[in-house]
A and B are shown apart, each in its own frame.
Chain A
């Protein structure tokens, strides 16, 4: 594998590259890859391919006459030039803006974005001085995203890590299928928020709509206001000192700490009555066989 250069790989088809890198010979039987950590691994804080950026090196990009593809390509070029703070001007509701950033970066968006803004990110700190459309930060892996105004539905869909904050209110299905990380809503959230949630924490400072936490598998939801109704298998739990401490730290961090504290928050968790997947497996296997 080490003997194959990038120049050689470039000449190959994708199938040839996969074989040249020895990937088709891997044994993937069993559930474990049996990889062991190297206790002497070098200290490194970014992915090997991540560009070296300096947060103090700042630039602005007027996106008015650019397509989304051009904007996203330009962000990568600027990062490769070492810019660690990029300000996007005039986004005018473009969809899929700022997606797939897998490195540290300060991204400031001066205006509102459309669907799937800053999705698939892993590391950057994003501030959006406007509103966002559906599925903002979907599949986010790490970093912080702060939206100063309101957000559309499926805010933080399938988020796996990091902090996603909306200072205003959000639409329905907030945190649908979330698998980790933290979503904080300063205002209200719509129906079916936390739907099929598997891990992570969803904090709503205002009210929550119908069917909150429907079919949630794990994770925790905190609501500061009224809850219209709970979904299937979502149950109330006792707010512990650890919860209070965590809520206070997180809400203070983003300037959303209520004046009356956090004692009034209702905690919702999974009742775990839907943990039946393992029971289905034998029947499914029989059908396949």
Chain B
């Protein structure tokens, strides 16, 4: 984690927030009863050796040399469940139990990017209804 005076729980283990859903490690967190900071390393840079074929195709279609906005997407953990934060709905979307999690954060992040992208581009995304309700005809 970047920074020199990080005041929340430090991420030491890839399964840290699965094993301990509360994640209250520091005295300050225990006092206020909530975890401080992200439940993933916000500054983790993607390892392009681990990119999936789907994401490679996405880069090609968009005409980008890298993952662009998806570089900021990580698999996070909320209430002891793996999930991805979707900025378009300002909420977490959960990873189904049927998906086996790899043993490292880089591969998990690639899965998170792929699932989020498919969800955002699908007809079941809440933006589709929102657009229908509020668009100008």
Q: Could you tell me how many residues of chain A have their Cβ less than 8 Å away from some Cβ of chain B?
A: 66
A residues near B57, Cβ cutoff 8 Å: 43, 45
Q: Please determine whether A162 and B68 come into contact, CB atoms closer than 8 angstroms.
A: yes
Contact digits for A192-221, partner B, Cβ 8 Å, 1 yes 0 no: 000000011000000000000000001110
A246 to B43, CA, bound (A): 11
Q: Please determine whether A48 and B6 come into contact, CB atoms closer than 8 angstroms.
A: no
A residues near B36, Cβ cutoff 8 Å: 275, 278
Given A32-B78, A200-B72, CB of A47 within 8 Å of CB of B93:
no
A143 to B67, CA, bound (A): 10
A49 to B129, CA, bound (A): 12
Q: Please determine whether A235 and B5 come into contact, CB atoms closer than 8 angstroms.
A: yes
Which residue of chain A lies nearest to B93 when distances are taken between CB atoms in the complex? A35
Is A66 part of the contact surface with B, judged by Cβ < 8 Å?
no
A205 CB to nearest B CB, Å: 19
Given A36-B94, A237-B3, A272-B7, CB of A17 within 8 Å of CB of B132:
yes
B residues near A44, Cβ cutoff 8 Å: 118, 121-122
Which residues in chain B, 63-82, are within 8 Å of chain A measured between CB atoms? Answer: 63-66, 68-69, 71-72, 78-79
A160 to B72, CA, bound (A): 9
Contact digits for B114-128, partner A, Cβ 8 Å, 1 yes 0 no: 011111111110111
Given A39-B99, A104-B61, A199-B72, CB of A9 within 8 Å of CB of B132:
yes
Known: A34-B94, A47-B127, A144-B68. 14 other contacts (CB 8 A): A4-B132, A21-B129, A21-B133, A33-B93, A35-B91, A37-B95, A41-B115, A41-B118, A43-B118, A125-B63, A181-B72, A182-B71, A199-B42, A272-B6
**Complex A-B, nearest 3 residue pairs according to Cβ-Cβ distance, in ascending order:** A161-B69, A142-B69, A41-B118
Can you pick out 22 interface pairs between chain A and chain B where the beta carbons lie within 8 Å of each other? A4-B132, A18-B133, A21-B129, A23-B130, A32-B83, A34-B94, A35-B91, A37-B95, A37-B118, A38-B124, A44-B121, A47-B121, A143-B69, A161-B68, A162-B68, A199-B72, A218-B2, A235-B4, A237-B3, A267-B2, A272-B7, A273-B5
